[in-house]
Structure 1
Amino acid sequence: MRTEAQAVVIGGGLIGCSILYHLTKLGWTDVVLLERDELTSGSTWHAAAGIHGLHDSANISRLQHYTMNLYNSLEEETGQSCGVFQPGSLYLAQTQERVHQLKLQEAKAKLYGMDFSEISRERAEELHPLVNFDGIKCIMWEPSGGNVDPSGVTNAYAAGARQKGAEIHRFTPVTATEAQPDGSWIVRTPKGDIKTPWVINAAGLWGREVAAMAGIELPLQPTEHQYFVTETIPEIAAIDRRLPSVADRDGEYYMRQEGKGLLIGAYEKDMRFWAENGTPLDFAHDLFADDLDRIEENIM
C-alpha cells in the first residue's frame, strides 16, 4: 500500500468509488480508496437503486442526468456491467400541490433538454397495465427512468479507477486521521499509514464515525427503511417487456419490476431511528427484521 497519495477516499460504496473514478478522470492517478469491509457492504448493497434525471434541486438534477448518461459509457469503458434497465418512469400526483411540483419539473426538463412530460391516463395504462390510476390528477412520463444494479455500478467505477492507476484496499478499516502541521493528514490503518493532503469522507453509514476521527461532529442519523420483493407475478411474467417504475410521493411509495415480480418500498410516516449511538462496525450485508406493518398505509 502506498505511504503517500494525492487523496485518500474513505468508504467503498457507490459514492466512494464514483469519487475515486472521477478523480482519476481529472488526472489524479495517485489516489487510494480504503474500505473497512467489502465494496458495497453498506447502504449501497441495500439500495433499491432507482434512477431518474429530475430533482427539486437544479444542481442535483444536472448531476442525476449526467450520471444516467454515464452508465452506458462506463460499461463500454470498463467491460463491467452496470445492470442498467431503462423502461421509463411514471410520476403520479394525487394533490394539486404535487401537480404544481411536477409541472415545475416538466418546465425544468425543457430548459435542460430532458424528456419529461405529462401523459394521459390512457397512455399510462398502456405503459403499466397493472397500476390503478383512480384519484390521480397528473401523470408525468420519463422515458429514460429505471434502475441499475448498485453493486455492478460500484464495481464498474472501481474498475475504471484501477485502470487509471488508483489503488483500492478492501478489508482495510481506517483507525485514525491525524492532522499534520503542514496541513496534510496521516490516515492510519492496520495495514499501514498514508500521508495525503486530502481526505474524502465517503463512509456513508459510518460518516459520523469517520468525521469524529477528525474532531468534526456530523449531524447524520441513519433510519430504518422497509421495502419488499414479491415472488413471480403471473401477469408480469406474461408481459414480454419490462414495466416502467412508479413513484407516488403523495402516497409515499415507489415500485419497480424485479425479475418477474415487484419491488415495493415506502417512506413510512412511522419512521424509526437506527444506530443512534454509533453504526456497528460489523454491519455489512445484514437486513433488519421485517416490519411491514409500518408501511401498510403506504402500499394499500
Structure 2
Amino acid sequence: MRTHAQAVVIGGGLIGCSILYHLAKFGWTDVVLLERSELTSGSTWHAAANIHGLHDSTNISRLQHYTMALYKELEAETGQGCGIFQPGSLYLAQTEAREHQLRLQEAKARRYKMNFYEVGRDEAERLHPLVDFDGIRCIMYEPEGGNVDPSGVTAAYAAGARQRGAEIHRFTPVTATEAQGDGSWIVRTPKGDIRTQWVVNAAGLWGREVAAMAGLQLPLIPTEHQYFVTETIPEIASMGRRLPSVADRDGEYYLRQEGLGLLIGAYERNMKFWAEEGTPLDFGHELFPDDLDRIEEN
C-alpha cells in the first residue's frame, strides 16, 4: 500500500468508488480508496437503486442526468455490467401542489433538453396496466428512468479507477485521521499509514464516525427503510416486456419491477432512527426485522 497519495477516499460504496473513478479520470491517478470490509458492504448493498434524471434542484438534475448516461459508457469502457434497466418511469400527482411541482420539472426538462413529459391516462395504462390511476390528476413520463444493479455499478467504477492507476484496498479500516501542521493528513490503518493532501469522507452509514476522527460532528443519523419484494406475479410474467417504475409522492410509495414481481417501498413520514449512538462497525449485509405495519398505510 502506498505511504503517500494525492487523495484518500474513505468508503467503498457506490459513491466512494464513483469519486475515485472521477478523480482518476480527471488526472488524479495517485489516489487510494480504503474500505473497512468488502466493496458495497453498507447502504449501497441495501439500495432500491432507482434512477431518474430530474430533481427540484437544477444542479442535482444535471448530476443525475449525467450519471444515467455514464452507466452505459462505463460498461463499454470496463466490460463490467451495471445491470441497467430503463423501461421508463411514471410520476403521479394527486394534489394541485404536486401537479405544479411536476409541471415545473417538465418545463425544466424542456430547458435542459431532457426527456420528461406528460402522458394521458390511456397511455399510462398501456405503459403500466397494473396501476390504478383513479384520482390521479397529472402523470409525467421519463423514458430513460428505471433502475440499476448498485453492486455492478460500483464494480464498474472500481474497474475504471484501477485502469487509470488508482488503488483500492478492501478490508482496510481507517482507525484515525490526523491533521498535520503543513495542511496534509495522515490516515492510519492496520496495514500502514498514508500521508495525503486530501481526505474524502464517503463512508455512508459510518460518515459520522469518520468525521469524528477529524473533530467534526455531522448531524447524520441512519434511518430504517422498509421495502418488500413480491414473488412472481403471473400478469408480469406473461407481459413480455419490463414495466416502468412508478413514483407517487402524494400516495407516499414507489414501485418497480424486480424479477417477475414488484419491489414496493414507502416514503415514510414517521421515520425510525437507527444506530443513533453510532453505526456498528460489523454491520453490512444484514436486514432489519420486518416492520411492514409501519408502512401499511402507504
The TM-score, its normalising length taken from structure 1, stands at 0.99
Amino acid in structure 1 at the alignment position of 2:119 = I
Equivalent residue, structure 2, for 1:35: 35
Matches of 1:194 and 1:38, distance apart in 2: 20
Mapping 1:271-286, distance limit 5 Å: 271-286=271-286
CA-to-aligned-CA distance 1:40-67 (integer Å, 9 cap, x gap): 0000000000000000000000000000
Aligned residues: CA RMSD = 0.4
Q: Distance in 1 between matches of 2:30 and 2:174?
A: 19
Q: In structure 2, how many angstroms separate the alpha carbons of the residues matched to 1:176 and 1:158?
A: 24
Partner amino acid, structure 2, of 1:80? Q
Structure-1 residue corresponding to 2:186? 186
Residue of structure 2 in register with 1:131 after alignment = 131
Q: In structure 1, give the amino acid aligned to 2:123.
A: R
Which aligned pairs between 1:17-56 and structure 2 lie closer than 5 A? 17-56=17-56
Paired residue total: 298
Cα deviation 1:143-199 (Å, max 9, x = unaligned): 000000000000000000000000000000000000001100000000000000000
Q: Does 1:172 align with 2:172?
A: yes
Q: Name the structure 2 match of 1:291.
A: 291
Q: Secondary structure at the match of 2:207?
A: helix
Kindly state the Cα deviation for residue 3 of structure 1 after the two structures are TM-superposed.
0.2
Q: What's the counterpart of residue 198 of structure 2? A: 198
Deviation for aligned residue 1:271? 1.4
Aligned match of 1:3? 3
User: 4+ residue stretches of structure 1 with deviation over 2 A?
Assistant: none
Secondary structure at 2:263 match in 1: strand
Matched, 1:108 2:108: yes
Shift of 1:21: 0.1
Deviation at 1:267, TM superposition (A): 1.7
Counterpart residue identity of residue 206, structure 2: W
1:67 is aligned with what amino acid?
Answer: T
Aligned to 1:72: 72
Aligned-residue identity in percent? 83
Task: Confirm whether residue 57 of structure 1 aligns to residue 57 of structure 2.
Answer: yes
State the secondary structure of the residue aligned to 1:193: strand
- Deviation readout 1:80-134 (Å, 9 max, x if unpaired): 0000000000000000000000000000000010010000000000000000000
- Name structure 2 gaps, 5 residues minimum: none
Question: What SS does structure 2 have at the residue aligned with 1:6?
Answer: strand
2:150 corresponds in structure 1 to 150
CA distance in 2, matches of 1:42, 1:254: 22
> 2: distance between equivalents of 1:241 and 1:57?
32
* In 2, Cα distance between equivalents of 1:68 and 1:157: 14
Q: Name the structure 2 match of 1:220.
A: 220
- The secondary structure found in structure 2 opposite 1:5 is strand
Q: Which amino acid aligns with 1:64?
A: Q
Please report how far the alpha carbon of residue 270 of structure 1 lies from its aligned counterpart in structure 2 after TM superposition: 2.6
1:216 Cα deviation after fit: 0.4
| Matched residue, 2:250 | 250
Supply the distance in 2 between the matched residues of 1:230 and 1:179 (Cα, whole angstroms): 49
Q: CA deviation at 1:268?
A: 1.7
Q: Cα offset for 1:32?
A: 0.2
Tell me which amino acid in the other structure corresponds to 1:148. Answer: V
The whole-number CA distance in structure 2 between the counterparts of 1:115 and 1:270 is 33
Which residue does the alignment assign to 2:96? 96
Mapped to 2, the partners of 1:164 and 1:221 lie a distance apart of 35
Structure 1 unpaired stretches of 5+: none
TM-score by length of 2: 1.00
